[in-house]
Structure 1
Amino acid sequence: MTDTETATAPAVPTDRTAAPKPSSIKMTARDVNVFYGQTHAIKDVSIDVDLENVTAFIGPSGCGKSTFLRTLNRMNDTIAIAKVTGDITLDGEDVYAPEMDVVQLRARVGMVFQKPNPFPKSIFENVAYGPRIHGLAASKQALEQIVEQSLKRAGLWEEVKDRLSDSGTALSGGQQQRLCIARAIAVDPEVILMDEPCSALDPIATAKIEELIHALRGKYAIVIVTHNMQQAARVSQKTAFFHLGNLVEYGETSEIFTNPHEERTKDYITGRYG
C-alpha cells in the first residue's frame, strides 16, 4: 500500500504506556522506512509487538499500515521496487540479515490476508501442508494431531472434523478464514499478522474471528490491521494510528480511543476524515 500524498513533517509518536516486560516483547521495529521507488511510504516508524497484547494498526486508506505490517515478515521482498531501511528484530534476531532464512521467518511470523486464500486442496491438506514441508511431524499420526489441534485452536474442528477430505474452497467465507488461521498456526508460529481479516466477512463470521483472536492472545503475538475502529476497540489492547506513512500515536487502546493526545488521532477517531 503506497501513499503519494505529500505529508507534513512527521510527528513524534506518542506512547503513553509502560513498556511491556522484556520477556514478552517478540518483535521490535526501530526507525523503519519503506520506499516504493521514489515514493516514501513508511517514515521512521518504531514500535514493539508483544505477546501479552493484541496490537491494532488503524488509519485511513493509503496511510501505510498494511505496508508496515508486511515489513514484519518481509512480504515486501516480493515487490521489486520496494526498499526497507531501519531495524526489525524477532527475539533479538535481525529479520533483514542476509543469513535470515525467509521461508523460516514466514513460518515464525505467519500472515492471514484480507481475502481468505485456502489452497485448492482438502481441508486436511491445507493445514498439513506447512508442517509437512517444514518437517514438523515425524509420523502420519503426529501430523494428524497437528491438524486436529490447529483446527481446534482456530475454532473450526467441530464444524469440519467429519469432512476433512472436502475441499477447503468449499467452506463458507468465515470458515475459509478460520482455515487460513489454522494453516498459520500449524507451523507453530510466534507472531500472527492479520491484514483486515474480517473485511470480506459477514457480522456473524466476523464475531467468530474476533472471539478467536481473544482465544489466541497470549499464545501468539498478534497484530491486526483494521479499518473498523469498533473492531480495534473490541479485540486489541494496544493501538497504533498511522497517517500519511507516519506513526502518529501508539498506546493503550482505551486511551487512544477516549483520550488521544494528537489532534490527527482525535480527528480520525471522531470521523472528521478517513
Structure 2
Amino acid sequence: MPSSTPIEAENVAPGETKMRARDVSVYYGKKKAIDEVSIDIFTEFVTAFIGPSGCGKSTFLRALNRMNDTISSARVTGCIELDGEDIYSSDMDVVQLRARVGMVFQKPNPFPKSIYDNIAYGPKIHGLAQSKSDLDEVVEKSLRRAGLWEEVKDRLSDSGTALSGGQQQRLCIARAIAVEPEVILMDEPCSALDPIATAKIEELIDDLRGRYAIVIVTHSMQQAARVSQRTAFFHLGNLIEYGQTSDIFTNPRESRTQDYITGRYG
C-alpha cells in the first residue's frame, strides 16, 4: 500500500539526503502512473530503480527534474525537494533545476555540434566560464571525468554524432557534468549499448559515485546489483521496497520483490 513515509531498509544509517519525495503521484490525463511514492535520494549512493516495463520507474525519474512538464497531459502532486527546496514551487527556475539535476537518456543524444561545443554549450549559457581558457578547462575536466578525454582530445572539432554509441553516451554524461550538477539521473543509459560499452559506462558510474547523487533506471537486475548501493523496486506505479541493494537482492522483505528478482514475473 502507498505510504506517506519513505520505504527504508532496516539497520541502514542514512547518508546526506539530496532529494526527498513525499506522496508523489504522477498522472497522464486521468491515468495515475505513480501512486503516492515517498523516497529519499542520498548523495553517497548510486540508487537503482528496477521493476517490470510500465511500472512507473522512468516516469518517477523524470519527475525528479520536472521533465514531465514537457508532456501536456502530465500532472504531478505531492512534494519533491532538492536540498529542502520544493522543485515544483512557482519560484523554481526550471532551467536552473535541470542544470542542478542533469539527465542522461536511454538513447545517446549528442547535439549536432563538435565534441568541444557539446561540452561547452551548457557552461556558456549558464555563465560558468568567462573566457576561452575557462571553457577549455571545463571541457577537458568534464571529458576526463567521463573517461573520454584520451579518446577524443585530438579531434575535439569533430562532430559528436560521429562517435560510437558508447562514446556518445559518455559524451552526454560529460555534457551533464559540465554544468556542475548535484544530481545525475540516468534513464536506462546502457540499453542501446554493447557489452563493452556498457562495462565502460558502469565503470564511469562507479567513478562518479560520491561526487554526485546518481539515480539509474535499469531493466537489468545484474546491472543494478553491480553499480548501485540502494535499489528501489517499483510495481504498477507503487514503490514496493527500497533499501540496500544487497538486501533487496538477497533478502527482500516483500514477496512481490522476491517474485520479480527470481523471474516469476516481469
TM-score by length of 2: 0.97
Counterpart CA distance in 2 for 1:14 and 1:104 is 29
- Give, in whole Å, the separation in 2 of the partners of 1:25 and 1:193: 15
The one-character-per-residue Cα deviations of 1:40-88 (angstroms, maximum 9, x if unpaired) are: 1000100111111100000000000000000000000001111100010
State the partner residue of 2:9. 16
Deviations 1:174-196 (A, max 9, x none): 00000000000000000000000
In the alignment, which residue of structure 1 is the partner of 2:30?
38
Counterpart residue type for residue 141 of structure 1: S
Query: Which residue identity is paired with 1:15?
Result: E
Which residue does the alignment assign to 2:262?
270
The alignment status of 1:122 with 2:108, answered yes or no, reads no
Deviation at 1:19, TM superposition (A): 4.8
- Equivalence for 1:5: none
Equivalent residues in 2 for 1:95-110, closer than 5 Å:
95-110=87-102
Q: 5+ residue gaps in structure 1? A: 1-8
What corresponds to 1:4 in structure 2?
none
TM-score by length of 1: 0.95
Change (3 A) 1:42 1:119: same
Match for residue 150 of structure 2? 158
Q: What is the deviation of 1:20?
A: 1.7
Native 8 Å contact 1:122 1:166 kept in 2: yes
> Could you tell me whether the CA contact under 8 Å between 1:43 and 1:246 is conserved in 2?
yes
Q: Of the candidates 47, 56, 68, which is equivalent to residue 60 of structure 2? A: 68
Q: Which residue is 1:238 aligned to?
A: 230
Aligned partners of 1:239 and 1:251 also within 8 Å: yes
How much is the aligned-residue C-alpha RMSD, in angstroms? 1.1
Structure 2: stretches of 5+ with no match in the other structure:
none
Contact 2:7 2:39 in 1 (8 A): no
Shift of 1:120: 0.3
Q: How far apart in 2 are the matches of 1:148 and 1:49?
A: 29
Any conservation in 2 of the 1:123–1:165 contact (CA below 8 Å)? yes
Residue 252 of structure 2: SS of its match in structure 1?
coil
Tell me the residue number matched to 1:198.
Answer: 190
Contact in 1 for aligned 2:109/2:172 (Cα 8 Å): yes
Deviations for 1:200-219, whole angstroms, at most 9, x for unmatched residues? 00000000000000000000
Q: Does the CA contact (< 8 Å) of 1:14 and 1:261 recur in 2? A: no
How many residue pairs get matched? 264
How many Å separate the matches in 1 of 2:255 and 2:211? 35
Taking the aligned partners of 1:163 and 1:83, their CA distance within structure 2 comes to 44
Number of the residue aligned with 1:173: 165
Residue 14 of structure 2 aligns to which amino acid in structure 1? P
CA distance in 1, matches of 2:13, 2:112: 43
Q: Residue 138 of structure 2 corresponds to which residue in structure 1?
A: 146
Contact 1:13 1:248 in 2 (8 A): no
Given candidates 186, 195, 204, the residue that maps to 1:212 is 204
Contact 2:6–2:40 under 8 Å retained in 1: no
Letter in 2 for 1:99: D
Deviation at 1:15, TM superposition (A): 1.8
User: Which runs of 4 or more aligned residues in structure 1 lie more than 3 Å from their structure 2 counterparts after TM superposition?
Assistant: 9-14
